[in-house]
């Protein structure tokens, strides 16, 4: 991925900072610098602030989406600690996680988190800027690397920052570059993160959607799909609870939880009473108990709209089954059910392997 050119800073060196990366630390170190600069606009950034921002940034892929950073990565237990200390508000309108951490956690808990990150960051701030001093670092003994990089950074403006006590200080030319190209640089980081995640999560779908806090979702198509079907099907009951579904209690449940699939495609959405959907949360449903009823409900909903010529509404099924809607409409339930099973069962097993709770059985 190409970065914007500049006559004032060594962009080529920045482009190479992730060339030798075995864990996630450098990605989230740089991302946290960008975050702090975007929010505060100040060149002096404390290690404490960067540490907490790193925790806030890794929590979503590690805990909410349950991805793996690999066995060598030390962020997973820290993300688990956050979940023990705080019930994270994931609503699109909620403050960012860094704000929630600072507001909700005690000074002692915050210090404990930053201390744990400090252990991981023993080398990262220095190794991140090492490419800018490659010639000067030739033959420097390993035990002197951090000290020498700090000395070079203090004497030069080549690297993005120098060390100032328990902070880093960005150089003015780099402040200008980082602020001007925030969007591209964040894309640069995420591009590398996705490549990193692909190695450790080879069977997981939607990696690029699982890097940050989920945004507001638009469920207009799913709402139209099931509201119209419900209006024509009085007495429709919930596959989990057997309760009657009404216009008043209708909610839209992701059969495989959204925090795993990270999409709103219609084949994965079914109607359920609000209380049942809330109880299911992000649990994986019991396949032996619920799959057949889920597949039947999906089939009936599809046939209802296909009979009414709602071709645009059914586009997700066209993509899923790789056939024309007319061909799909003519298939028997057993065919439809088996195609869904071939998709859902492996994805559910992958989600279980990642740590999603299983099985959900309504009681």
pLDDT at residue 138 in the model: 87
| pLDDT tier at 218, thresholds 50, 70, 90 | confident
| pLDDT tier at 1, thresholds 50, 70, 90 | confident
Contact 152, 136 (CB under 8 A): yes
CA 151 from chain center: how many Å? 37
Segment 242-272, tens digit of pLDDT: 999 999 999 999 999 999 999 999 999 999 9
Does 211 score more than 90 pLDDT?
yes
What spatial distance separates the first Cα and last Cα of the chain, rounded to whole Å? 51
Mean pLDDT along residues 55-72: 96
Segment 185-210, tens digit of pLDDT: 999 999 999 999 999 999 999 999 99
pLDDT at residue 21 in the model: 85
Mean pLDDT along residues 89-117: 96
Q: Counting beta carbons within 10 angstroms of the beta carbon of residue 5, is it exposed (0 to 12), middle (13 to 18) or buried (19 or more)?
A: exposed
Does 114 score more than 90 pLDDT?
yes
How far apart are the C-alpha atoms of 114 and 147, rounded to whole Å?
22
In the chain, what's the furthest Cα-to-Cα distance?
A: 78
Mean pLDDT along residues 295-320: 97
pLDDT at residue 146 in the model: 96
Q: Where are the domains of the chain?
A: 11-209, 220-354
Closest among 111, 10, 27 to 62, alpha carbons compared: 27
For all residues of the chain together, what is the average pLDDT? 96
Q: What's the pTM?
A: 0.91
């Amino acid at each position: 991925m190409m970065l914007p050119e500049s006559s004032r800073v060594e962009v080529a060196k920045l482009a190479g900072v992730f060339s030798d990366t075995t864990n996630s630390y450098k990605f989230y170190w740089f991302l946290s610098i960008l975050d702090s600069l975007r929010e505060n606009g100040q060149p002096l950034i404390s290690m404490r602030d960067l540490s907490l921002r790193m925790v806030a940034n890794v929590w979503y892929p590690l805990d909410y989406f349950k991805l793996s950073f690999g066995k060598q990565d030390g962020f997973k237990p820290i993300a688990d600690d956050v979940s023990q200390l705080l019930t994270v508000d994931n609503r699109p309108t909620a403050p960012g996680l860094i704000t929630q951490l600072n507001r909700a956690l005690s000074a002692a808990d915050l210090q404990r988190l930053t201390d744990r990150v400090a252990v991981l960051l023993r080398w990262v701030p220095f190794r991140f800027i090492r490419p800018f001093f490659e010639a000067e670092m030739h033959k420097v003994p390993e035990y002197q690397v951090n000290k020498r990089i700090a000395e070079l950074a203090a004497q030069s403006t080549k690297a993005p920052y120098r060390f100032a006590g328990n902070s880093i200080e960005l150089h003015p030319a780099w402040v200008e570059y980082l602020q001007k190209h925030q969007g591209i640089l964040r894309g640069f980081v995420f591009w590398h993160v996705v490549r990193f995640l692909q190695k450790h999560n080879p069977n997981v779908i939607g990696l690029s959607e699982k890097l940050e806090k989920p945004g507001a979702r638009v469920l207009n198509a799913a709402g139209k799909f099931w509201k119209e079907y419900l209006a024509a099907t009085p007495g429709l009951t919930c596959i989990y609870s057997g309760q009657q579904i009404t216009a008043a209690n209708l909610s839209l449940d992701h059969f495989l939880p959204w925090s795993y699939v990270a999409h709103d495609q219609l084949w994965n959405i079914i109607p359920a009473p609000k209380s049942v959907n809330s109880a299911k949360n992000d649990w994986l449903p019991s396949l032996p108990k619920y799959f057949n009823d889920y597949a039947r409900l999906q089939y009936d909903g599809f046939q209802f709209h296909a009979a009414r010529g709602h071709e645009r509404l059914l586009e997700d099924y066209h993509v899923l089954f790789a056939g024309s809607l007319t061909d799909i409409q003519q298939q028997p339930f057993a065919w439809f059910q088996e195609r869904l099973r071939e998709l859902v069962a492996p994805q559910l097993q992958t989600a279980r392997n990642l740590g999603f709770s299983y099985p959900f059985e309504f009681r």
